[in-house]
Structures are given as C-alpha cells and as structure tokens.
Amino acid sequence: MEILYGKSADKGHVMATATKLSDGSGLLSLHPERLRRAAQRANLDEETFEDDSHVVLVSRKYPEALLKETIPGLVVVGLALAEPHDCEAVSKIPIVGGLGEEILHSVNEDDLLIVDSSGGKVIVDPDAVTIAAYQEDAHSKRQVDIGTYESAALTTDDGRLISLSARVNNYLDIYMALESGVDGLFVTTGNELLPSGPKGASVDDQVKALADLSSTIGRVPLFLQIPLEQIAFAALAQAACKCSLHVVIDQVEIVDNLITQLKFVQAGLSANNIKHGPVQFDALLSTSETGGIMIGSLTGFSGVVVSDDLISGTTENLVMIGAMAQHANKPVVLSLPKDHWHAPLEQALMLGFTGFVAYPDTLAEVKQAIRVS
C-alpha cells in the first residue's frame, strides 16, 4: 500500500481500478487492453458490467476533451492527476491533483485505487484493513471482495476485522509469509536480510539491501525492529519511497530527536535529487512497566508494538495497554510467542485487540484460530 498526497476539493471518496491515460505519442489514449475490454462490454446491459467498468483515470493533466465525451463501456468515477488543477471548479467526481510524477510511476493498469478527495490523498493498492475502513462509509457504492487480495485480514465470528503480520529473519520466511498472505512483515535483530558486521555496513550496502527487500515484498508494510545504530537514516528514507516503512523503537522519549534527524537527512536527499519517502515510528512495549509510559509520550508514533514476553504475562498488562492505546488513538500490534500462543491470542481477542504478528510457520494455525474465535 502506498499513499500519495495532493490537493483536492471535498467531494467524498471512490474506490475503483485504475486506467492510465498515455500521452507518449502526442495523442491522449487509454491502455489498449482497457479499450478492448470496454468495447466488449459496450453492447451489454449496464447492470452487467457496472462495477468492472468503473475506473479511476490516472493522468498527467486534467483530460478535459476526453471527459466531455462518453466512452462506451467505461465510466470514470475518479481522477488522480500528476499536475495541480482547480479541483473545485471542474469536477463533480472525487479528484486529487498535484500528486507529482510518483502517481504515474506507482500505478499500474488495473491497480486498485482509493481517491479520497476529502483527505487530499490517493491510496494505491490498499490493504484489506484500509479497504474495509472505506467500505464502512455508507456512501461507498462499490464493495471490494477482500478475499481476492493477498492479505491476512480476517473476520472473526462477531464481525471484527483482524490483521496478521509475520516475523521474518530471512527470505525463506518472507516467501512463506507472502504465500500465506500477511498485512505486514517484521524484521528483528539477528536477521539475515540486512548487512551487519563488527564494523557495520556502508550506507550504499544498506540502501541496496533495503531496495532488494522492498522489491521482493511489494507494498506490504515493513517493520524494522532492530537497533537504530545498525541502520542509517539515509537508507531508511530512500527505502520508504518504495514501501510503507516503520521503525520500531523501545526508547519512546527519543522519538522527537529521531524525527528531527530524519527531516535533516531527507532535506539533504532532496537537495541532491534523491528520491525518499516518509518513515514512521512505532513504540515498542517490552516490559511490564507500562504504567510509566504516559499517553502523551505516544505523540509522534504511528502505532504500538507489544512484545511476546509482555502479552504472555498477566491480563492486567493487556488491559492497561489497550486502554492507553485507545486513549492515544494508536493501533496496537501484539507479538505472539512461537510456542504456546493459543492462550494469549484468545485472551487478546476477548479484550478487543485486532492486530497480531506471528512466526511464519504458525500463520495457518493462527488464522484458523482467529476465524473460529
């Protein structure tokens, strides 16, 4: 999943597959395969092809001439534009402009897009949790079958949506996790994925390793739960333009300093025309001394990760964590132990937790346990 921000007018949101408008030959044209399918559907009743024909048009500029005409077998329900445009004046459908060249490079034909003109953003290839959140809106007309996407998002018997991530240490773990379907990948200390050694690794080596990792996992969110001294901010920032990148830290008091350092590094990358993206920080709770972590200290964090040692402890720990995260409005991911995970999972589900991370070889069993909970 990738989120791109631009400028828009508040015209709600729409979810549909993408079709790209090409101007490479000097003439505006749609993808040949899209035109072929549209032509096949043109003679069918509208009810037959309504969902499949609804598209978000991705274009460099506002395609005024094209939109003035009716395209048989095709209905444009949203616009995602690289260049800025007066979104308020020109369109009655959701439109976000000023997304930059990234929208042209990030989107492929038939990718699922959410054009959120209320939030001024376009979500490329949303994960199952995001799809479900947007479909909860009564005004969302198009429902997407979450089961058609390679995601671990599961629904319990009482209708709650649960996300499941995997803890990975090597590429075999990653392949197992991706085949099973996951909503995130957690890389921890002692992994075989990132370069390390007594003298550390160069920034270039780290950039290459993270680039290889990003190309393998696609848009699955990546969580790095490793000591910060083992990775350069420049490498993190460059990797973040290719995947949703989270850094998990247990020193919550230093997050403001980390954000300041990261902004300085990103400014240097921008000055040298090096692409980079946003890095998010998640707070790691690893001891039972959660009472010392005040709600205000979670400012600057995108979420909370709870260690397996902590959730294997007393019920009071989970109750306290849940209350703290709820008041701070932060999502929580609970790390399940490799063995004896059944009781902690059952307890956490009873308390209302909806995010978990498990070992690759336990994913199938954990999924089954969630489905029947």
Average pLDDT of the segment spanning 86-95: 71
Angle at 299 between CA 3 and CA 254, to 5 degrees: 105
What mean pLDDT do residues 215-231 have? 85
* pLDDT (average), residues 60-74: 71
The pLDDT score that the predictor gives to residue 200 is: 60
Determine the pLDDT at residue 320. Answer: 77
CB 252 within 8 A of CB 214: no
Highest mean pLDDT among 75-84, 89-98, 140-149, 283-292: 75-84
DSSP 8-state code for residue 340: S
Mean predicted confidence (pLDDT) in 29-43: 59
What was the pLDDT predicted at 47?
43
First-residue to last-residue Cα distance in the chain: 28
Domains annotated on the chain, with CATH: 2-142 (3.50.30.10), 154-371 (3.20.20.60)
Hey, what's the torsion of the CAs at 78, 102, 106, 265, to 10 degrees?
-130
**DSSP at 143:** -
- Output the pLDDT for position 336: 93
pLDDT at 361 over 50: yes
The number of angstroms, rounded, from the C-alpha of 234 to the middle of its chain's C-alpha atoms is 21
Rounded mean pLDDT, 54-63: 85
Q: How far apart are CA 327 and CA 1, in angstroms?
A: 27
Range 307-311 average pLDDT: 79
Cβ–Cβ under 8 Å, residues 249 and 255: yes
Rg (CA), the chain: 22
Question: The pTM is what?
Answer: 0.63
d(CA 206, CA 209): 5
Going from the C-alpha of 253 to that of each of 101, 256, 293, 298, 306, the distances in angstroms are 37, 7, 10, 9, 17
Does residue 334 register a pLDDT over 80?
yes
Strand partners, 113: 16, 124
Q: What is the pLDDT of residues 237-282, one digit of tens each?
A: 998 888 889 999 988 788 889 989 999 998 999 899 888 888 999 9
Residue 24 pLDDT > 60, yes or no? no
Nearest to 78 by CA among 135, 123, 129: 123
The rounded distance, in Å, linking the Cα atoms of 94 and 7 is 11
Q: Pick the residue with more confidence: 57 or 92?
A: 57
pLDDT in tens, 134-190: 765 433 344 444 444 445 555 555 666 788 899 999 999 998 888 887 888 999 888
Confidence grade of residue 49 (pLDDT, cut at 50, 70, 90): very low
